[in-house]
Structure 1
Amino acid sequence: MQKTTIARLLPAALLALGSGAASAGGFQLLEQNASGIGNAYAGSAAVAENASTIFFNPAGMTQLQAREVSVGVAAVRPSFDFENKGSVVLNAPRIPTSGGGGDAGSWAAIPNAYLSWALNKDLYLGVGIGAPFGLVTEYDDDWVGRAQAVKFDLKSININPSVAWRVNDKVSIGAGLNWQRFEAEYKRVATVLPTSISRVPGLNATTATLEADSDAWGWNVGALFTLSPSMKVGMSYRSKIDHTLKGDLKIAGPAAGLAPTLRSVKAEADVELPDTFIVSVAQKLDNRWEMLGDLSWTGWSSVKQVDIVRTSGVLSGSTAQTLHTEFKDTWRVALGANYLLNDAWKLKFGVAYDQSPVKDKERRLVSLPDNNRTWLSAGAQWKLSKTNALDLGVAYLIVPKTRIDNDQTADGRGRVTGEYDSSVWLLGAQYSMAF
């Protein structure tokens, strides 16, 4: 196979794997390594225990051996079980309605890979590959909220070349560029006919599907301070990334033939993915215990609304639909501990509280039934040798009952009123090697 073909196929393969359900607030994916799962990602910008520090704080590369590689995968299983409490379905009087739509969550895999290389004792280069954003919600076709969404699938891949410099024994700094690909698929049941005609059975099974993608660039910086032999503090910042998703808006089903000029048009949507800031600390208490802390901020208010705009056809320039997100900025706090059982085994523990960017039940989308969550995590690291380590982690995310009352009656998409019973399981493994 030619190298050019491999270059085209590799991002597509990673995107397919990286279609995850968001474990952090909004549709953010914290699982940029699996070694941090056991600590609920406490100390993420300070620990620098393998090459995945490239994502959380590139300055941490100066704490690694001359050459290190780290690869991992996290399996995420969210559950979004909806209970209908008075939803109103418009323009679909003869389509059977099961109500809840089943569990909108499913298993997803999130891979990562990192390589760090010391040019000399103070200068390091590295590259990381991960999926920092992702989400999948998919309901039964006949659920009560089908006019608002049946499927919402976000995928990303982020390639992050980085550099780190040890200024002195106390201070290291790092920076990186980020090439990011972002893909979206949004499907809902559409009403394309006047109400008087759409009462014919089956016509409301017509669907509208947006498939679009974008490539964009961002940057990140970090600093690591060794305050004492037992204490490190890390700080990192990742920039916003401004995407213009371009693709096709397709109408399919029995009613599509009555509006042939609208069956397939080009469309685009602007999405400014948020910036993040992290402050972390790692403190060794003695030869066995280490405490970790993390405070992070995410600028979700950059996602105020998403306008899906037609860019071809007779209605070119018009807005097909607006997703009224109106997100707010969020905070996340995490505490963790490591216990060195012996030379081969380290035990990991963590708790975290993670805010949702969703403001209230009226602005909660069926495609993103997000809420605040509490992390309970545990894990272990097995040192196979001085240069090889395997990390395993598991986390359960407690999500309170999530109310929704999203009224899109004026736009012909009905009103979804009810409650979600949600939770998330995370499982992960990370293999790291120095060579």
Structure 2
Amino acid sequence: MNKLTLRTVPALMLLAFSGMASAAAFQLWEQNASGLGNAYAGSAAVADNASTVFFNPAGMTQLTGFQLSAGVVGVGPSYEFRNDGSSATGNNGGDAGGWHAVPNLYLSGRVTDRLSLGFGVSAPFGLATEYDSGWIGRSQSIKSEIRTINFNPSVAYRVNDKLSLGFGVNYQKIDAELTNSLSRLKGDDSAWGWNVGALFTLSPAMRVGLSYRSSIKYTLEGTMNGTIPLRADVELPDTAILSVWQQVSDRWEAMGDLSYTRWGTLRSLNVVSRASGATLGTESFNYDNAWRVAWGAAYKASDAAKLKFGIAYDRTPVKDSDRSARVPDNSRLWLSLGGQWNTGRYGKIDLGYSYLYVRDPDINMNKNGTTLRGSYDAGAHIVGVQYSVGF
């Protein structure tokens, strides 16, 4: 278990893998840029570069030789509060969002005709909201930051021409900071999880992928107000994905995705004194399980160029009655465009863009003796670039 000073993880590394959540709550779907243009439809079935290590390790059997994929996605959400009868006084807090980078790196290699190995570095969860210190909801939230970095060695085995299986181990680190005008909580930990996947090749023109990433349980240790040692248990959710990819014609591909995330594992964050065992505070979430559905297509404009587009609906796990200023989340619609340039032996470059239309979240939260009542103007822009090459 780590201490607050992050002795075992360079702080710059965690900073590099921080990001504001663009999927429901504070989950990050942006684990590559190649899927961004399709709104991540077909994520567990496309398997056209090494980033399949994250979405479905069984997809590594579709790749030849040694493959490298590296990229970065910029996530730029906006959350601007509009007051409507709050009990405190102050300003509206400015824009609680802002741009953050979510980098990724994946490697895969075929060992035999049936066996492949892989490794990925990613950030499955991230949160960054911060208000002006004099805003009207300062007693409830000022800064909320969660960073994760995930190391994911994987193996895949091709059982036959129709079925491949994959398995991965996840070593994940988390660093969290929650502040308001009354207190400052900081803590971190590292823990283990796992992921599995299956890829069914129904025909040369159609694949179906199934994948699952386990939940990860942490015991955060750190301090309250820089002096009081604290402990808090938290379990980040597991996710299952069903994906389809189909070659419709010589130029057209279509893909779809259905995912389910068990956010019900995250009910509350109970902060306890490590010295006395007394409860120092509670952050309530009361999340529901949530699902996401996506559809996308790609058009091969030439031997080198491919155009992509997609749409997705991402249902929030946040109930209206439990929405907080820390995570002013609501269901969102993804509208995505992208492109790929294949240079042949020198690799492929993917570019992607998504606009997230977020239904304006309302908030009516009583906490720390104040009522925060109003709504948010919410939305997000996401841009990404990725380079993939095989040897």
Residue equivalent to 2:211: 236
Matches of 2:141 and 2:170, distance apart in 1: 31
Residue equivalent to 1:199: none
Match of 1:287 among 242, 247, 250: 250
Give the direction of change, closer, same or farther, for the CA distance of 1:395–1:302 in structure 2 (3 Å limit).
Answer: same
Task: Give secondary structure in 2 for the equivalent of 1:82.
Answer: strand
Is 1:22 the counterpart of 2:21? The answer is: yes
Shift of 1:187: 0.8
**Higher Cα radius of gyration:** 1
CA contact (8 A) 1:11 1:157 kept: no
Shift of 1:385: 1.3
Residue equivalent to 1:59: 58
Is 1:400 the counterpart of 2:359? The answer is: yes
Shift of 1:98: 3.5
Residue equivalent to 1:332: 292
CA contact (8 A) 1:375 1:396 kept: yes
Q: Which amino acid aligns with 2:34?
A: S
Matches of 1:384 and 1:11, distance apart in 2: 36
Q: Deviations over 1:358-410 (max 9, x none)?
A: 011x21010000000000000000001145000000000000111000112xx
Q: Deviations over 1:69-124 (max 9, x none)?
A: 000000000000000111112xxxxxxx4421000001100000001011111100
Residue equivalent to 2:176: 184
Task: Give secondary structure in 2 for the equivalent of 1:189.
Answer: coil
Residue equivalent to 2:119: 127
More strand by share: 2
Shift of 1:171: 0.4
Match of 1:296 among 236, 239, 259: 259
Shift of 1:211: 1.1
* Aligned-residue identity in percent: 53
Matches of 2:259 and 2:277, distance apart in 1: 39
| TM alignment of 1:142-291, pairs within 5 A | 142-190=134-182, 208-250=183-225, 264-291=227-254
Residue equivalent to 2:313: 353
Matches of 2:114 and 2:200, distance apart in 1: 15
Residue equivalent to 1:372: 331
Residue equivalent to 2:279: 319
Matches of 2:8 and 2:127, distance apart in 1: 22
Matches of 2:37 and 2:316, distance apart in 1: 22
Residue equivalent to 1:40: 39
More helix by share: 1
RMSD value over aligned CA atoms? Answer: 1.3
Matches of 1:247 and 1:215, distance apart in 2: 13
How many pairs are equivalent? Answer: 386
Matches of 1:266 and 1:342, distance apart in 2: 61
Matches of 1:153 and 1:126, distance apart in 2: 30
- Farther off after superposition, 384-393 or 362-371: 384-393
Shift of 1:10: 6.7
Task: Give secondary structure in 1 for the equivalent of 2:54.
Answer: helix
Residue equivalent to 1:88: 87
CA contact (8 A) 1:136 1:153 kept: yes
Task: Give secondary structure in 1 for the equivalent of 2:13.
Answer: helix
Residue equivalent to 2:378: 422
Task: Give secondary structure in 1 for the equivalent of 2:136.
Answer: coil
Give the direction of change, closer, same or farther, for the CA distance of 1:301–1:231 in structure 2 (3 Å limit).
Answer: same
Matches of 2:236 and 2:48, distance apart in 1: 28
CA contact (8 A) 1:376 1:396 kept: yes
- Farther off after superposition, 302-311 or 159-168: 302-311
Q: Deviations over 1:306-355 (max 9, x none)?
A: 1111113xxx2111111111000001000000000001000000000001
Shift of 1:220: 0.4
CA contact (8 A) 1:333 1:352 kept: yes
Shift of 1:13: 2.8
Task: Give secondary structure in 1 for the equivalent of 2:326.
Answer: coil
Task: Give secondary structure in 2 for the equivalent of 1:62.
Answer: helix
Task: Give secondary structure in 2 for the equivalent of 1:331.
Answer: strand
Q: Which amino acid aligns with 1:162?
A: S
Matches of 1:158 and 1:382, distance apart in 2: 29
Q: Which amino acid aligns with 1:350?
A: G
Matches of 2:278 and 2:134, distance apart in 1: 29
Gaps of 5+ in 1: 1-6, 90-96, 191-207, 252-263
Matches of 2:167 and 2:187, distance apart in 1: 30
Matches of 2:13 and 2:390, distance apart in 1: 24
Matches of 1:266 and 1:102, distance apart in 2: 32
Residue equivalent to 2:388: 432
Matches of 2:324 and 2:63, distance apart in 1: 43
Matches of 1:387 and 1:173, distance apart in 2: 29
Matches of 1:331 and 1:247, distance apart in 2: 33
Matches of 1:153 and 1:160, distance apart in 2: 23
CA contact (8 A) 1:44 1:280 kept: yes
Shift of 1:63: 0.3
Task: Give secondary structure in 1 for the equivalent of 2:37.
Answer: helix
Task: Give secondary structure in 2 for the equivalent of 1:48.
Answer: coil
